[in-house]
Homo-oligomer: A and B are copies of this chain.
């Protein structure tokens, strides 16, 4: 059976883009429930300054409070060496850095050019190598940018390649504003595959335009076997208010079950998590698979 790896991003990418802030206790419960549902990689928090991302201000408490289950990884986002050091100090053993495929997005999001962002990562890679800490790389805006519009696949592939060559064990391609369709995603993967082996590449799709599962499927067809997703579809789209954000983990798991690929995730347990965390956020669960399965349970 084909194996597909899911990197669960709800505790970080999801909660960071939700209006309602949840307690550290809830975050820790979310992470552990996800681990118990079979998710093996759960992005736990971000060591970005609370000035920029107040929702992640409790990163120390989250890392120190983690129940580390066997076979589970709890990577965290780090913007620079200072964030890296704080993360490792708090117990992180896997980190992720993020670059953008769009100059404008890089400037507006992390306040520096793409080249400057790589200069910031250099000491992170150096320390991580010395510490034996694995570094994952994110590329945002791989298909489109909220400021520049179209992003050429060559540009996105170039940034992905730079992250890979700089030392990332894996590069996640993020369609941050969800504008990609199977055609643009396949064009992108073609370009990336020329420089980075596809088993080191993850797809990170947002459902803003309803294309997320289609893009996961198209990527799977193209050979991708690693996908980022967020339980309950947690996280909106900061660039289109009211629009949907991350693809829901349960939608990806359902798709993969249909394709005969094994994610190791217990769909029923996952739906429970989706319902529970949605309640904590004060709303009903948004993902279609969760809504359909909960309706079925109720009937």
| Interface residues, chain A, with chain B CB atoms under 8 Å away | 178, 180-184, 207-211, 213-214, 216-218, 237, 240-244, 248, 251, 254-255, 257-260, 287-289, 291-292, 294-296, 298-299
A254 contacts which chain B residues (CB < 8 A)?
181, 209-211
Complex contact A184–B298 (CB within 8 A): no
Q: Write out the residue numbers on chain B whose beta carbons fall within 8 Å of the beta carbon of A211.
A: 213, 251, 254-255, 258
A241-B289 contact, Cβ under 8 Å, with A182-B259, A254-B210:
no
Q: Which residues of B contact A216 (CB under 8 A)?
A: 214
Contacts of A299 in B (CB 8 A): 240-241
Q: A181-B259, A213-B213, A258-B184 are in contact. Are A243 and B208 (CB under 8 A)?
A: no
CB<8 Å pairs between A and B, sample of 23 = A180-B258, A181-B255, A181-B259, A182-B217, A182-B255, A182-B258, A183-B258, A208-B288, A209-B251, A209-B288, A210-B254, A211-B254, A214-B214, A214-B216, A214-B217, A217-B217, A237-B292, A240-B291, A240-B296, A242-B291, A242-B294, A242-B295, A243-B288
Q: Provide the main secondary structure of the chain A interface.
A: helix
**How far, in Å, is A89 (CB) from chain B's closest CB?**
39
Please state the number of chain copies in the assembly. Answer: 2
**In the docked arrangement, what's the CA distance between A260 and B211, Å?**
15
Given contacts A213-B211, A217-B182, A217-B214, contact A288 B255 (CB under 8 A): no
Task: Select from chain B the residue with minimum beta-carbon distance to A260.
Answer: B183
List of B residues within 8 angstroms of A289 by Cβ: 209-210
Q: Which residues of B contact A208 (CB under 8 A)?
A: 288, 292
Q: Report the separation of the CA atoms of residues A259 and B295 in the bound assembly, to the nearest whole angstrom.
A: 33
Instruction: List chain B residues, Cβ under 8 A from A258.
Output: 180-184, 211
Q: Measured between alpha carbons, how far is A242 from B299 in the docked complex, in Å? A: 11
For A242, list chain B residues within 8 Å (CB). Answer: 291, 294-295
Cβ–Cβ < 8 Å partners of A217 in chain B: 182, 214, 217-218
Among B214, B237, B241, B292, contact of A243 (Cβ-Cβ < 8 Å) = B292
Tell whether, in the assembled complex, residue B248 and residue A292 are in contact, meaning their CB atoms are under 8 Å apart: no
A180: chain B residues at CB < 8 Å are 258
Q: Which residues of B contact A240 (CB under 8 A)?
A: 291-292, 295-296, 299
- How far is it, in angstroms, between the C-alpha of A260 and the C-alpha of B181 when the chains are bound? 10
New A-B pairs, 18, CB < 8 Å, besides A182-B255, A182-B258, A214-B214: A181-B254, A182-B259, A183-B258, A183-B260, A184-B258, A208-B288, A209-B288, A209-B292, A210-B251, A210-B254, A211-B258, A217-B218, A237-B292, A240-B292, A240-B299, A241-B298, A243-B292, A244-B291
Indicate if the CB atoms of B213 and A292 lie closer than 8 Å. no
Which of chain B's residues have a CB closer than 8 A to the CB of A241? 295, 298-299
